[in-house]
Chains A and B, each alone.
Chain A
């Protein structure tokens, strides 16, 4: 897969912006993940060239942390909290409902590239359990009943755009 020239430049710029930091790899990876949504091998090679860190080491770091992904995620990442506070309030049922309505398992992305389901661990909104976050926006007290409506909300948003 060829990386677009502007992405190559973008990644290089990110590397440059952290050039003065000690051990900048995590910061670079976070910034790339945030900006492009994933960190494929080709991008890791660019980072390696810029920083002198071997690709093998970068790959090791990327695969260690759950925030970094090798593959693109859906446009909307449905992060459903399976932290303790949410779990004891039945957040598993919310995950199951998303799975059954979208036909994908946690960690997977719908064919149209719109949704990814992620089981996440605590977003600090435990008092509003079960909580979920969609691209950073936190939804409090989600019940299985609301799942259909939430999916519709984002599908409509897509249709309008």
Chain B
């Protein structure tokens, strides 16, 4: 691509690229286009090999002039991947294997028939669905942050330009003053998508009001909430959109340098972002005097190194500065004194990804979506015990029921819904009674949880509330940076107390002590990690008091999860004596009894030498492999 030096030149590129992309999607270029999901999830399921095989097979049939193949970013529905989509028919194939490629080429691309066996099957109606938009999972979604994800080739600036890319940047830097940009963002009502939910426009205004020779935009791509992967998918699927959002932020409050801080666990996101930056530099979309204006901007990438607390903005700044990632006391706020002491705005990936839409389409269009206090859409990472696991972008104010049942397809295996954790390790859980609450920043807080970054983990009756709280506490203990003692020592002590409860050594007094300690940690901690550390405990204690009680008074785990409070048993009446469990038991604690086993085939006699089995409870380490293996339903948890 030639350098893009003027607004007219950009305009022309956008026009051309749009025409090319539309022709590709509509097939008016006389070709069919095959796209393969190249997100982390599908790559783990061999989608790179699928793409290679498609190219090979297409070449073998001499179709190179008639069919194009490329990868795109995450479709969001990763649990159904790898995906292959064919334009212009808009046919979506799911769970594709390398061995299916031959069929796709011969049957569909050559024969013009649909490979029925690769279509998505609706779990309730059992009907096959050909088009993505007709799948329930996608129906209630509005794609603003995920704009272009799973559609454009994230390695090609041309495709970004062909799908609304940099229209907003052009509009901002050539037709709007910085203050007008801030006003527009304020009017959109957008609040930070990274956790706190602070109005983005106000943050920019603070930084704009400070005079300084240098200011910075920092994009927070640390995505610490384990179970959330929206920032990963956005960066992998449309890195250009995030860079554009960052540049608009820079223009708005006067920063000419931007830093992306991305967790090292996301190598694919990092390499796509790197490539996008380089390609933009080549054509002059990053650098000095962009589009011939006075606006100059450079973007850099810094990698995290595995510390959750670095998601906290001041810790993140320390980390970029090459120090231990410990939070700084605030004030001064980063907008006044941030990176290298200069005014800095830290914005989340998803927040920045929505900025181009706001500028391009207008604040009003964004503000028309959502609720009174929370505008626009939010991406949730729906995970855990739900049928349709994946990323969904829905209007603020969508109810949990819509999220879990309409989009998520309900709980697998006809199990009972128990709770959904939002806000990750800083959040809390919501239960049955909250299912019809419209979710936004404020309703979640009112119900003892929070939005966080959008992780939403569904739990069913097989999950133990105490065990889940115990899990979050172990996470927080590991990740406390150690700067303040209420957090460093308090969370450790809370974890030990919870361990006592899960092991049946706790008493009602333990529960009271936990509540008291939780308050101390909350009030005495410097950063939000400590301040919110006890939330998962408090929220599960509030929602499931009887479950905590069972652990300390009856010494029972009602969900049969806590190992010390449950046992595996073999029902002699059902055991056919197949010996599988005893062969698999890692500590050889399953023995035969002298009770003759049930017949293998009902009605037939028991084979000679087959006896029912029994578990020696004193040796059992509760690994669960016997239960997982028994094909006769003879083993139970109690």
Contact = CB atoms under 8 A, between A and B. Distances in A.
Contact of B305 (A68, A85, A126, A138): A68
Contacts of B308: 121
B237 interface: no
B475 interface: yes
Interface stretch (B101-109, B184-192, B381-389, B502-510): B381-389
A126 B389 CA distance: 8
A145 B324 contact: no
Nearest to A122: B226
Interface string A90-119: 000100110010000000000000000000
A161 interface: no
A126 B381 contact: yes
B475 A30 contact: no
A85 B457 contact: yes
A127 B79 contact: yes
Contacts of A137: 44
A76 to B, nearest CB: 17
A74 B306 CA distance: 18
Contacts of A85: 226-227, 381, 383-384, 389, 455, 457
A156 interface: no
A140 interface: yes
B239 interface: no
Interface stretch (B147-155, B261-269, B281-289): B261-269
B245 interface: no
B45 A140 contact: yes
A26 B305 contact: yes
* Interface of chain A: mostly helix, strand, loop or mixed: mixed
B628 interface: yes
Contacts of A131: 44
B343 interface: no
B417 to A, nearest CB: 13
A65 B468 contact: no
Given A23-B320, A124-B265, A84 B40 contact: no
Nearest to A88: B384
Given A24-B322, A126-B229, A136-B267, A30 B383 contact: no
Contact of B325 (A65, A84, A93): A65
Contact of A125 (B78, B267, B302, B304): B78
B306 A89 contact: no
A5 interface: no
Contacts of A60: 324
Given A84-B384, A88-B385, A144-B628, A26 B226 contact: no
A67 B227 contact: no
Given A23-B321, A64-B325, A129-B383, A123 B265 contact: yes
Contact of B44 (A29, A57, A140): A140
A49 to B, nearest CB: 16
Contact of A96 (B81, B223, B424, B623): B623
Given A60-B324, A100-B586, A124 B307 contact: no
Contacts of A126: 78, 226-229, 381, 383, 389
Interface in B441-500: 455, 457, 459, 463, 468, 471-472, 475, 481
A133 to B, nearest CB: 8
Query: Which of A22, A85, A136 is the most central at the interface, judged by chain B CB atoms within 10 Å of its CB?
Result: A85
B555 interface: no
Contact of B471 (A87, A125, A144): A87
Given A29-B305, A84-B455, A88-B459, A123 B40 contact: yes
Given A23-B321, A26-B320, A88-B463, A124 B223 contact: yes
Contacts of B304: 65, 67
Residue of A65, A121, A127 most packed against chain B (CB within 10 A): A127
B71 to A, nearest CB: 16
A154 to B, nearest CB: 17
A8 interface: no
B41 A144 contact: no
Contact of A138 (B43, B383, B425, B624): B43
A60 B323 CA distance: 8
Contacts of B226: 81-87, 121-122, 126
Contacts of B267: 136
Contacts of B340: 22-23
A123 B223 CA distance: 10
B115 interface: no
Quick one: which of A30, A131, A140 has the most chain B CB within 10 A? A140
Interface in A120-161: 120-129, 131, 136-140, 143-145
A101 B77 CA distance: 34
B522 interface: no
B229 A124 contact: yes
B421 interface: yes
Interface in B46-93: 77-79, 81
Contacts of B45: 128, 140
A23 B324 CA distance: 12
Interface in B269-308: 302-308
9 contacts: A61-B324, A66-B307, A83-B227, A84-B425, A88-B468, A122-B228, A122-B265, A124-B229, A140-B45
Interface of B: 40-41, 43-45, 77-79, 81, 223, 225-229, 232-233, 264-267, 302-308, 319-325, 340, 381, 383-385, 389-391, 421, 424-425, 455, 457, 459, 463, 468, 471-472, 475, 481, 586, 623-625, 628
Given A84-B384, A123-B265, A128-B45, 20 more contacts: A25-B322, A26-B305, A65-B305, A83-B227, A84-B425, A97-B623, A121-B226, A122-B227, A123-B40, A124-B223, A124-B233, A125-B41, A125-B229, A126-B228, A127-B383, A128-B78, A129-B383, A129-B384, A145-B625, A145-B628
In order of increasing CB-CB distance, the 7 nearest A-B pairs are A83-B226, A25-B322, A127-B78, A138-B44, A65-B305, A122-B226, A84-B227
